[in-house]
Homo-oligomer: A and B are copies of this chain.
């Protein structure tokens, strides 16, 4: 289906090898045989973790972060997330990022899915995990990383998505999963560590 939409690589040039950003420009052949240029960021991929805190009364809270995001110029509310280290498996990265950024260890994990944040000009994918049965250890933030951890109810999370307090795409996507998981519509398979 839709094979007539595909583009094929003719050549590739590295445009920028920065400290963070790795940018390429490729010549591609379009479906109508014309030649066009495609510029894009090459990214190793990332994970996002949605941590479920179970409170004494059986109520659920979700662990979020406030972090200043320089390209946006403001403090953003988001679920814990981070880039894969070289050769690192997504699940290992999820466990590591949750511990480093929030201090939490989770006994149960569920793989939720994957999202592509910016399909027009980045190869990045974000692997999505839910984590529950949390116990608190010590945070180990990266050098130069500053963030604040807090928790909200699922209702508060959805309200913040509706009223524009949350605009980070990955966190909005997580809210779609939280809503449908908690309603029982989108069940998940949990693995115990």
Interface residue A152 (Cβ < 8 Å from any Cβ of B)? no
Task: State which residues 152-169 of A face B: CB under 8 Å.
Answer: 158, 161-162, 164, 167-169
Interface residue A20 (Cβ < 8 Å from any Cβ of B)? yes
In contact, A5 and B71 (Cβ under 8 angstroms): no
Q: Which chain B residues lie closer than 8 Å to A138 at the CB level?
A: none
Name the segment of A50-58, A101-109, A118-126, A129-137 touching the other chain.
A118-126
In contact, B39 and A19 (Cβ under 8 angstroms): yes
Q: What CA separation (Å) do A70 and B30 show in the bound complex?
A: 10
Q: What CA separation (Å) do A115 and B146 show in the bound complex?
A: 23
Q: Which chain B residues lie closer than 8 Å to A44 at the CB level?
A: none
Min CB–CB distance A114 → chain B (angstroms)? 6
In contact, A21 and B121 (Cβ under 8 angstroms): yes
Interface residue A26 (Cβ < 8 Å from any Cβ of B)? yes
In contact, B70 and A26 (Cβ under 8 angstroms): yes
Q: Which chain B residues lie closer than 8 Å to A182 at the CB level?
A: none
Min CB–CB distance A129 → chain B (angstroms)? 14
Q: Which chain B residues lie closer than 8 Å to A30 at the CB level?
A: 144, 146
Interface residue A180 (Cβ < 8 Å from any Cβ of B)? yes
In contact, B114 and A28 (Cβ under 8 angstroms): no
Interface residue A40 (Cβ < 8 Å from any Cβ of B)? yes
CB nearest to A163 among chain B residues: B113
Interface residue A89 (Cβ < 8 Å from any Cβ of B)? no
Which among B21, B38, B126 is the interface contact of A70 at CB below 8 angstroms?
Answer: B38
Q: What CA separation (Å) do A164 and B127 show in the bound complex?
A: 12
In contact, A164 and B20 (Cβ under 8 angstroms): no
In contact, A168 and B72 (Cβ under 8 angstroms): no
